[in-house]
Structure 1
């Protein structure tokens, strides 16, 4: 890039003796002073030289701007991304797109790497407004407001006009950082530059004043907003004032001051909202009635606010009455209002009332939309009213020619199945087909899951065939559901054939697939086959988890293959898979069953050595062994031995001993009773 162009467009590269862009003598003088001050501040880094990247000059150039942006986004290392940008800048015969620099400035600023951020800014020709704002935001995020302001001052002496947006951006940052003392100078700077504030400007200033309990100043600013600038306060303005008053003085104080807004000929919806939110709906209505007596006409927002207030208190009937009054005044509720009402009815499990209300509104010419029907259908489903829900679905399609979304159909299928109404779910599928909608995998998967959960695997297989007939390819979830269904029936061989079919279809089995089949083999007491399957899958890149190992270890222990189970425990450690208390419980139970007390104690020591706490199952296993396999004396010796080797805590030892003594006493009592008989 020619240095002359770079120097012409980038003000940070000009010396203080160069003529300024502006013809304004005062700005020229301020620019001269500013450049001098920049050399003694952190912003002076913007004028530092860029390190040479000649070592990378032979690298392949970035082909297009899109390639450059893609490379920058993909490169997570900021240093490497910076080298890519610098190399592209050197090799390019024309200016690079600004967004590439802006992206890099944002990344470096986010990481607090301000010197490099300024170096990238120096590469821009010319700098953009967005680049300036990103730099300002970066300094602000790191609580460096003075540096952020200096960037704004530098921006003043460039060709980029300072807009209201720029100042609002700064105001927002200052408010966020709670730097109230900086607002006045910045506002004066804004007006001196001839930049007009807008409603957002005043909203930010009012927010800052309210946050600092300066309500008189905030109200004065509100009046100035209208009188000096002809701006009309919006709902955000009133909400900010209301929140400030309510937070520090309470809602009553706000209510006393409502006359402040009376001259505007309107009641701020925030005033009504604040009253309704605090449960004072009656006060809101009184305020509204007082205003109506002076000729005020309520609008949609007014009614919506009070209707919502009634609903928040669960006063549904009163909300409906207000809705009817709204219609009587000639105001038809907006679709948003009615959908809100429907939503509240459904949350209160009053879906049937909402359906009747809808019928009445339709008769008056109201046209519900997809959201209305979907909300109402969902509410009916949640209260198990599947018949009305299905009728509403058909009405939605026939009466109003509305496009029913896939999500609506899927929700109905899911809800019917949840209530064990499979015929209703199939009716929805039929309705989909009649409306030209093809059921998705998720719909068939839900049907498959329902049948498999109830052991109806044959029916699930027929559904799979139906999927193929309409051109749907089973996904991993489909196969997992069927494999689980087969395993629950004990048909593990068929499940493994499904696994092979899955691979032939180009689908990779996931952890759920393998764990399901391994569990199926273990339940069928064929843990050896499960071990063979795991070995094969590991060779193909499968990574078993703790559930995989726990299932297989338990299965091997059940068929007496404790040595193989112990080897799996060692394999877990080698593969950085942390054993759980369930892992050790299975092994401890197995070795105690064959009298391996010393081995069980060794396992307990390992369990504790890994920082794993014995659970209730561990205690149950130990207690069962003490009662079944040991006399009272041997039990006491074993408990003492485990306690001495710190395999169990004193509380566990006490608990085991207490239970063992209680059992011994019970046995002796029963024997004594038998002798007496």
Structure 2
């Protein structure tokens, strides 16, 4: 929910799992709660949660806790309190965290207080043997925005001179800043040095985001062949190894080719993805289905939709309704009913609006027996028939002289005696008989929490959108590694907040 920017729902989930269900939260759970409130400008609520951790929890706040809180305070113009929180972090013995310092440095730079920002930078360098190069990226961007290109590049070169062993998260931020301000030569040199230092399992110097940044730059310049060669690029130094590309990297290049109308190349990479023993996710399927529909390749869109459902991937209501509508308009109502039947065999069940689209499409095509089957599925799964759909069905079947059949299906549910009493075409699942009624499985719908809810407003939007904007505005997990090996890391924000756990930097510490 946090990654989808559905912050109020993230707060509600915390309430459901850790208050109503009595599951014991850990500091990672609390950090998600704190950052969700801070993103909604409810920083005082976040501070109250922090105080409750100090007073009641059997664990202490982590450096990530202070990252979220300092950024939240700075975002609402309370930088003085953020400085106090930094001092509190140091007094608790957590050590100097580069990303907390970076929040303050960026905050003072945004206020054009360069001297104060530089003062905190000097303090960080005094306290740490090695600091995160994201701090230099923050200074670089500020210098570039002020037209002070020479000083920006001096900051970059001073970081390289230190020869820190930088992780992909840090280098990716530097890559984006360099490309954003047309320092392409330096950006490509940095990327190639990352490839040379990629020596897993000893050290992972690149990740799929690294490749996505430079591949996207190739597409931006219209260099499609170079994008492909970059996608497969390997370091040249002894010991360097090829990066094992993950699904996110394949998704990116598939989307880019699709955006440029090069569907054949997108299909090639989709096929290659499957050949690598990787499983395509919603993004890959959605991209191809949308492109096929746009190009009026209806059979290909239908085939890909079926593959997606057979892969046990959830099709959210917005996508399902749009695809079913377009496919039915192209005379694929019967095929759509088969796909929807497969979707209904798993939880969560399709939305009632999805069933309504397909049912009306079947009626429009005169496939009334299959339509009866779909209505039976709605009743069997307890999805529900809207008043408008009920009225539509009664009118349509009355014209066909079969009103009694549809009424019997619609009414038997109410009488607690739902059973099959309509013609059943072959190839479709029979609805449950008496005593076999299935209730939808899944967590109960939860209400907004009573605790830590602050002044929660409406959810911003639903669904699971892909991350947008420059990479340095997105988050990185604290632990790096192939995407398919990552779990559910703590949330992070822009490069100024991003970080790595101290496990990622065993040599970082206070002097």
Q: TM-score range by the shorter chain?
A: 0.5 to 0.7
Q: 1:316 to 1:414 in 2, by over 3 A?
A: farther
Match 1:254 to one of 145, 149, 152: 152
Equivalent-residue separation in structure 1 for 2:383 and 2:88 (angstroms): 63
Equivalent-residue separation in structure 2 for 1:445 and 1:493 (angstroms): 21
Residue 266 of structure 2 corresponds to which residue in structure 1? 354
Structure 1 residue 369: deviation in Å? 2.8
Equivalent-residue separation in structure 1 for 2:334 and 2:399 (angstroms): 27
Q: Contact (CA 8 Å) 1:467, 1:474: kept in 2 or not?
A: no
RMSD (Å) for aligned C-alpha atoms: 5.6
Residue 228 of structure 1 corresponds to which residue in structure 2? 127
Unaligned runs of 5+ in 2: 1-14, 25-29, 199-204, 416-511
Secondary structure in 1 matching 2:367: helix
Residue 533 of structure 1 corresponds to which residue in structure 2? none
Q: Contact (CA 8 Å) 2:379, 2:413: kept in 1 or not?
A: no
Equivalent-residue separation in structure 2 for 1:158 and 1:426 (angstroms): 54
Equivalent-residue separation in structure 1 for 2:150 and 2:260 (angstroms): 31
Structure 1 residue 355: deviation in Å? 0.8
Q: 1:189 to 1:405 in 2, by over 3 A?
A: closer
Q: 1:491 to 1:472 in 2, by over 3 A?
A: same
Residue 212 of structure 1 corresponds to which residue in structure 2? 111
Equivalent-residue separation in structure 1 for 2:261 and 2:111 (angstroms): 44
Match 1:289 to one of 182, 186, 189: 189
Match 1:468 to one of 346, 362, 376: 376
Q: Contact (CA 8 Å) 1:345, 1:351: kept in 2 or not?
A: yes
Equivalent-residue separation in structure 2 for 1:158 and 1:473 (angstroms): 44
Secondary structure in 1 matching 2:109: helix
Tell me whether 1:268 sits opposite 2:171 in the alignment.
Answer: yes
Cα-to-partner distance string for 1:426-481 (whole Å, 9 max, x where unaligned): 56468x49x976995756533321134x4x4x523542146538973686546633
Q: Contact (CA 8 Å) 2:333, 2:362: kept in 1 or not?
A: no
Q: 1:483 to 1:174 in 2, by over 3 A?
A: closer
Cα-to-partner distance string for 1:28-81 (whole Å, 9 max, x where unaligned): xxxxxxxxxxxxxxxxxxxxxxxxxxxxxxxxxxxxxxxxx99xx99xxxxxxx
Cα-to-partner distance string for 1:286-327 (whole Å, 9 max, x where unaligned): 432277479666622432211133345665444223213359
Equivalent-residue separation in structure 2 for 1:503 and 1:486 (angstroms): 12
Equivalent-residue separation in structure 1 for 2:214 and 2:106 (angstroms): 26
Match 1:447 to one of 358, 367, 389: 358
| Residue correspondence of structure 1 range 136-155 to structure 2 within 5 A | none
Cα-to-partner distance string for 1:372-395 (whole Å, 9 max, x where unaligned): 652344234433323334555677
Equivalent-residue separation in structure 2 for 1:142 and 1:340 (angstroms): 35
Unaligned runs of 5+ in 1: 1-68, 75-96, 100-128, 508-677
Q: 1:191 to 1:486 in 2, by over 3 A?
A: closer
Q: Contact (CA 8 Å) 1:251, 1:275: kept in 2 or not?
A: no
Q: Contact (CA 8 Å) 2:67, 2:100: kept in 1 or not?
A: yes
Tell me whether 1:323 sits opposite 2:228 in the alignment.
Answer: no
Equivalent-residue separation in structure 2 for 1:164 and 1:478 (angstroms): 49
Equivalent-residue separation in structure 2 for 1:339 and 1:499 (angstroms): 47
Q: 1:277 to 1:480 in 2, by over 3 A?
A: farther
Equivalent-residue separation in structure 2 for 1:342 and 1:377 (angstroms): 8
Match 2:143 to one of 245, 263, 267: 245
Higher relative contact order, structure no. (Cα contacts within 8 Å, ≥ 6 residues apart)? 2
Equivalent-residue separation in structure 2 for 1:386 and 1:404 (angstroms): 21
Q: 1:196 to 1:506 in 2, by over 3 A?
A: same
Equivalent-residue separation in structure 2 for 1:169 and 1:444 (angstroms): 43
Residue 592 of structure 1 corresponds to which residue in structure 2? none
Q: Contact (CA 8 Å) 2:140, 2:156: kept in 1 or not?
A: no
Structure 1 residue 259: deviation in Å? 0.9
Equivalent-residue separation in structure 2 for 1:142 and 1:323 (angstroms): 41
Tell me whether 1:481 sits opposite 2:384 in the alignment.
Answer: no
Structure 1 residue 348: deviation in Å? 3.8
Structure 1 residue 339: deviation in Å? 1.3
Q: Contact (CA 8 Å) 1:209, 1:217: kept in 2 or not?
A: yes
Cα-to-partner distance string for 1:526-562 (whole Å, 9 max, x where unaligned): xxxxxxxxxxxxxxxxxxxxxxxxxxxxxxxxxxxxx
Q: Contact (CA 8 Å) 1:377, 1:393: kept in 2 or not?
A: no
Q: Contact (CA 8 Å) 2:109, 2:142: kept in 1 or not?
A: yes
Tell me whether 1:199 sits opposite 2:98 in the alignment.
Answer: yes
Structure 1 residue 415: deviation in Å? 4.4
Q: Contact (CA 8 Å) 1:362, 1:368: kept in 2 or not?
A: yes
Equivalent-residue separation in structure 2 for 1:484 and 1:360 (angstroms): 46
Match 1:175 to one of 74, 98, 101: 74
Cα-to-partner distance string for 1:234-271 (whole Å, 9 max, x where unaligned): 64x45544443344447776345321321235573222
Structure 1 residue 502: deviation in Å? 4.7
What is the number of equivalent residue pairs in this alignment? 362
Structure 1 residue 488: deviation in Å? 7.7
TM-score under structure 2 length normalisation: 0.52
Tell me whether 1:417 sits opposite 2:325 in the alignment.
Answer: no
Equivalent-residue separation in structure 2 for 1:325 and 1:171 (angstroms): 39
TM-score under structure 1 length normalisation: 0.41
Equivalent-residue separation in structure 2 for 1:410 and 1:441 (angstroms): 9
Equivalent-residue separation in structure 2 for 1:354 and 1:332 (angstroms): 19
- For the pair shown, which has the larger CA radius of gyration, 1 or 2? 1
Q: Contact (CA 8 Å) 1:339, 1:371: kept in 2 or not?
A: no
Residue 371 of structure 1 corresponds to which residue in structure 2? 282
Secondary structure in 2 matching 1:230: coil
